[in-house]
Amino acid sequence: MAKAARTAISPTRQEDYPQWYQEVIKAADLAEASPVRGCMVIKPWGYALWENMQAALDRMFKETGHENAYFPLFIPMSFLEKEAQHVEGFAKECAVVTHHRLEPGPEGGLVPAGPLEEPLIVRPTSETIIGAMFAKWIESYRDLPLLINQWANVVRWELRTRLFLRTAEFLWQEGHTAHATSEEAMVETRRMLDVYARFAEDYMAMPVIRGEKTAQERFPGAVSTFCIEAMMQDFKALQAGTSHFLGQNFSKAQNIKFQDPQGNEVHAWTTSWGVSTRLVGALIMTHGDDDGLMLPPRLAPKHVVLLPIYRNDEERQSVMEYCRHLKRDLERVVYDGAPVRVLLDERDLRGGEKSWYHVKRGVPIRAEIGPRDVAANAVFFVRRDLLSEKRTMPRDEFLTRLPGLLEAMQQALLDRALALRDQNTRTIDRIEEFREFFTPRNADAPEIHGGFAWCHWSEHPAVEQAMADLKVTIRCIPLEGVGPDGSATPGKCLFTGGPSTGRALFAKAY
Amino acid sequence: MAKAARTAISPTRQEDYPQWYQEVIKAADLAEASPVRGCMVIKPWGYALWENMQAALDRMFKETGHENAYFPLFIPMSFLEKEAQHVEGFAKECAVVTHHRLEPGPEGGLVPAGPLEEPLIVRPTSETIIGAMFAKWIESYRDLPLLINQWANVVRWELRTRLFLRTAEFLWQEGHTAHATSEEAMVETRRMLDVYARFAEDYMAMPVIRGEKTAQERFPGAVSTFCIEAMMQDFKALQAGTSHFLGQNFSKAQNIKFQDPQGNEVHAWTTSWGVSTRLVGALIMTHGDDDGLMLPPRLAPKHVVLLPIYRNDEERQSVMEYCRHLKRDLERVVYDGAPVRVLLDERDLRGGEKSWYHVKRGVPIRAEIGPRDVAANAVFFVRRDLLSEKRTMPRDEFLTRLPGLLEAMQQALLDRALALRDQNTRTIDRIEEFREFFTPRNADAPEIHGGFAWCHWSEHPAVEQAMADLKVTIRCIPLEGVGPDGSATPGKCLFTGGPSTGRALFAKAY
């Protein structure tokens, strides 16, 4: 492999951040565009990462009392129309099924035939179809709470797509719950937001800000929407998960009623919450560097890759034998409650090419095993986030210390992401400073500027207008204790001078 | 609960087998029809069963070198048209997306808008879209074999649907592989058939016949289709999985080519194989009885349910404490490589109602714990397949013997299913006997008759005709060593008297 650039990925993040993102996905072989407009193909390495995310989240959902179920892909058009704001929010991006077969056309080829009486929408989200089932299932307060989750594909017709971040079809989970009281539904909404925050920080090593969306950014049909927001390495915000308190909006539209202990018929209170394959994009942009992907150990499809190095058949034999035994013993080591995942790469490739292959794919620990290591009963290895720190360790010590090495890397990634966010977060009280903060300064890296700004605000339309040319939005109103000290104290709106009850988080966003 | 019938399910299998099937699904709360024509809702208990099937199959796929990936839900109409037989096979049952948004119609309400240039088909299977990607990914013999699996939903527009057995949308896995030679592709085709057979027998406790389909029953576009066929309790056959050798049909239609070691461009040889949520239907009909579902322990969402029995608050406290400790200790017991799955049902329901609830749902072991068991430090329990054998065991013995008890039940279910199949399988050489075998005799149970018949056959159209009025089909030509002794010896076709190379399996089928 001709390696002209000093980094494995070209362009670098500084040179062209959006293009760097695409190149990392390509170099790590995570996904690619498909011949179907807006739809991506998730390749094995990317899918294995998503499977690990799924497994961790699924465990957390089950621990909090939720059960998985599966509901139809199709939603009758009339169902979508039941909640006025909901349909308005999704009508512009619906894939519509109108026919149920193909037949030979008058000019040869096939044409759609068998028109449906009522068009079907490919689910963009499932509140309406799941709500219709909830209305059948719920009769009494004894049936509540009803705590359901679905892992599924959904479709929202997008014209400007980006792999993982915005695609017409994506994979996600959607939780849907019904409760007897407003309070219980709100507790659930906040509980699942906390689950998402915990997953982001403990598994993805991605720090997040928990907060509530302003009215403009609410989920269509929700009473309130909560979110987690993360800072990417271009200092933009990425909304990584949302949890919606739906009040009685959907239960009234869909007749989800129960008899309370006093015998009264009452509408249930519902919630919904979801995260998607967008998290893979968030992970890439949080930890990737100019040499490619960097995987937090807890989610890495492989923790360790073993690369045998030899010059002739004799060396090959002893190195391979050593590697196979090492692999077997490594797989008996437990990390994060499960056996360490090891790849022995036996392919016939040049050593440098092979090393960079795994660097770009983000494997946490790369061990290169040559005759010298075999002779010394040692392991030569490099941590993906410390490429210049080459280390050699006695074999037994490596086996013993591996869980600690992985956990140290997991923690180091979180610390680094936290430091980046802290360095690029400001409390701003002057409009000039705000404008300056969000205006590109470095012509060489026009994409990387700004950050998170905590500012006083009000609901006046002038606020949105003032930010429009900067492409800045209010990401969220922080939950209690989440913003910087004093951010919950009243002040003056940065844009109108009017009264503000506290600071909100401002940023450019994906 | 008024229990008028002597069995928990009414009608019984004898009384009305198809209706019994629906009632078991309802009583076990596995699934139900949705408001979307032909699409079902898989409820938590049914979905947990499917998840356990998925987990076991996924492990087997990975052990045989396959990797998961994800491909688009939509297939451009022109892709489907590339393989002539393939499109002919699926054109009549396609959900067709023609528009990408909704807008207000002239008469109020919404209408489909934004017509697509080319209609999109909701995947009925993914050979064409996955093949398009394989064509991009495969360049050299070094890229082969390419071994991919996808877990996904697919849609085949069905008008006459039955829960799990035939629905417009269903969940499945589809394996897609490409190989350098015909031989390797055939080995893969047969390997995955064997994986399915192993899964059916070892996990579902469902014996299957492995064989090849006749030309009429082949997958559209395949060179040969292999299947596993199981006998249900109404003696009908159910095709439980298929594995297709696609030859070069799809690689030629889609230009999947590679450079061989000599530098020649060659078309790859491909396979595909799949099983679906239909397996849940197969499991219900293999093991269910007139008291409901019966779950093979290896796939049961819960292995043991604990039912506390008490008459007053004082008893309640000691019984509940005993149950909680028992649950904790049971969950430390390992069965089939994982902790035993225990449900402690604390709901405030009458004892009888609660017991039948879990009988109908098929939980392998039901333990009822009352003050007497607490005092004796014992466990009173019943195995789902031996409801009349009530047993009491000292607590410690129960903990020690539980894995054996579960494994014994797993084996008993397989043995019983094997016995049923053996009792209802015949080798038939006279047309009169064939007709009699497949003609309903018992007017009280018109659905339950026939069985598996091993008969000599030929490819003459008269064979299909002769069977048409009996609704019998050739299920498969058995693999070597699978049929009864001597079935591979030539003989005379039962229907035409012409030469036959061996016996095939005849049955009515789902």
Q: Which residues in chain A have their CB less than 8 angstroms from residue B132's CB? A: 34-35
Give pTM, 2 decimals: 0.96
Write the residue in B36, B74, B93 that is nearest to A120 by C-beta.
B36
Measured CA to CA in angstroms, residue A34 lies from A169, A284, A339, B101 at distances of 11, 20, 35, 21
* Contacts A–B by Cβ distance under 8 A: 181
DSSP for B448-467, please give it.
Answer: S---EEEEE--S-HHHHHHH
Q: Which residues in chain A have their CB less than 8 angstroms from residue B110's CB? A: 77, 80-81, 87, 91
CA distance A77 to B31: 23
Q: For the residues A35-61, what does the mean pLDDT come to?
A: 97
B157 vs A69: CB contact, 8 Å cut-off? no
Name the least confident of A439-448, A467-476, B303-312, B344-353.
Answer: A439-448
Which residues touch B386 (CB under 8 Å, ≥6 apart)?
A: none
What tokens does A281 get?
Answer: 């994009």
Q: What distance lies between CA B218 and its chain's CA centroid?
A: 19
B102 vs A91: CB contact, 8 Å cut-off? yes
For residue B92, with 0-12 CB atoms within 10 Å meaning exposed, 13-18 middle and 19 or more buried, which class applies? middle
A133 vs B34: CB contact, 8 Å cut-off? yes
Q: Residues B406, B339: contact at Cβ < 8 Å?
A: no
B101 vs A92: CB contact, 8 Å cut-off? yes
Distance of residue A495 Cα from the nearest chain B Cα, in angstroms:
36
| Each residue's pLDDT expressed in tens, for chain B with a length of 510 residues | 444 457 899 999 999 999 999 999 999 999 999 999 999 999 999 999 999 999 999 999 999 999 999 999 999 999 998 888 888 889 999 999 999 999 999 988 899 999 999 999 999 999 999 999 999 999 999 999 999 999 999 999 988 899 999 999 999 999 999 999 999 999 999 999 999 999 999 999 999 999 999 998 999 999 999 999 999 999 999 999 999 999 999 999 999 999 999 999 999 999 999 999 999 999 999 999 999 999 999 999 999 999 999 999 999 999 999 999 999 999 999 999 999 999 999 998 887 899 999 999 999 999 999 999 999 999 999 999 999 999 999 999 999 999 999 999 999 999 999 999 999 999 999 999 999 999 987 777 777 889 999 999 998 888 888 888 899 999 999 999 999 988 899 999 999 999 999 999 999 999
Q: Which of B30, B41, B88, B150 to mutate to test the interface with A (most CBs of A within 10 A)?
A: B41
Q: How many residues are given for chain B?
A: 510
Q: Please determine, for residue A2, whether its predicted confidence score (pLDDT) is greater than 60.
A: no
Q: Which residues in chain B have their CB less than 8 angstroms from residue A76's CB? A: 35-36
Q: Which residues in chain B have their CB less than 8 angstroms from residue A102's CB? A: 77, 80, 87, 91-92, 94, 96, 121
Q: Residues A88, B92: contact at Cβ < 8 Å?
A: no
The strand pairing partners of B504, in sequence order, are B455
What tokens does B386 get?
Answer: 């031996």
Distance of residue A157 Cα from the nearest chain B Cα, in angstroms:
7
Q: What phi and psi values does residue A337 have, to the nearest 5 degrees?
A: 80, 5
Write the residue in A67, A91, A169 that is nearest to B72 by C-beta.
A169
B70 vs A97: CB contact, 8 Å cut-off? no
pLDDT confidence bin for A449, thresholds 50/70/90 = confident
Query: What per-residue confidence (pLDDT) applies to A209?
Result: 98
Residue B127 DSSP symbol = H
Q: Which residues in chain A have their CB less than 8 angstroms from residue B86's CB? A: none
Distance of residue A122 Cα from the nearest chain B Cα, in angstroms:
9
What is the rounded (10 degree) CA torsion for A412, A415, A417, A420? -130
What tokens does B338 get?
Answer: 């994982």
CA distance A234 to A300: 23
A466 versus A268: the higher-pLDDT residue is A268
Query: What per-residue confidence (pLDDT) applies to A159?
Result: 82
Write the residue in B69, B91, B152 that is nearest to A110 by C-beta.
B91
Distance of residue A45 Cα from the nearest chain B Cα, in angstroms:
8
Query: What per-residue confidence (pLDDT) applies to B4?
Result: 47
Query: Cα angle vertex B431, ends B428, B437, to 5°?
Result: 60
Residue B215 DSSP symbol = G
CA distance A374 to A378: 6
B76 vs A119: CB contact, 8 Å cut-off? no
Q: Residues A477, A426: contact at Cβ < 8 Å?
A: no
Write the residue in A77, A97, A133 that is nearest to B41 by C-beta.
A133
Q: What phi and psi values does residue B282 have, to the nearest 5 degrees?
A: -60, -40
Q: How many CB atoms lie within 10 A of CB A55?
A: 13
Q: Which residues in chain B have their CB less than 8 angstroms from residue A147's CB? A: none
Q: What is the mean pLDDT of chain A?
A: 95
Distance of residue B77 Cα from the nearest chain A Cα, in angstroms:
8
Write the residue in A69, A79, A112 that is nearest to B119 by C-beta.
A112
Q: Please determine, for residue A1, whether its predicted confidence score (pLDDT) is greater than 50.
A: no
B148 vs A44: CB contact, 8 Å cut-off? yes
Nearest CA in chain A to B115: A96
A171 vs B70: CB contact, 8 Å cut-off? yes
CA distance B380 to B370: 9
Q: Please determine, for residue A495, whether its predicted confidence score (pLDDT) is greater than 50.
A: yes
Kindly provide the ipTM of the predicted complex, given to two decimals: 0.96
Q: Which residues in chain A have their CB less than 8 angstroms from residue B48's CB? A: 67-68
Q: Which of A81, A86, A98, A100 to mutate to test the interface with B (most CBs of B within 10 A)?
A: A100
Q: Which residues in chain A have their CB less than 8 angstroms from residue B77's CB? A: 102, 110
Distance of residue A293 Cα from the nearest chain B Cα, in angstroms:
19
A133 vs B39: CB contact, 8 Å cut-off? no
> What number of CA atoms fall less than 13 Å from residue A170's CA on the CB side?
25
B81 vs A109: CB contact, 8 Å cut-off? yes
Write the residue in A47, A68, A96 that is nearest to B97 by C-beta.
A96
Distance of residue B31 Cα from the nearest chain A Cα, in angstroms:
9
Q: Please determine, for residue A507, whether its predicted confidence score (pLDDT) is greater than 90.
A: yes
Q: Which residues in chain B have their CB less than 8 angstroms from residue A99's CB? A: 94-96, 98, 119
Q: Which residues in chain A have their CB less than 8 angstroms from residue B72's CB? A: 34, 36, 39-41, 169
CA distance B26 to B10: 11
CA distance A208 to A484: 14
Write the residue in B44, B76, B110 that is nearest to A67 by C-beta.
B44
Q: Which residues in chain A have their CB less than 8 angstroms from residue B51's CB? A: 68
Distance of residue B203 Cα from the nearest chain A Cα, in angstroms:
21
Query: What per-residue confidence (pLDDT) applies to B465?
Result: 84
Query: What per-residue confidence (pLDDT) applies to B267?
Result: 98
A74 vs B119: CB contact, 8 Å cut-off? no
pLDDT in tens, A328-371: 999 999 999 999 999 999 998 887 899 999 999 999 999 999 99
Q: How many CB atoms lie within 10 A of CB A430?
A: 10
CA distance B505 to B209: 9
3-state secondary structure of A18: helix
The strand pairing partners of A438, in sequence order, are none
Q: What phi and psi values does residue A251 have, to the nearest 5 degrees?
A: -65, -30
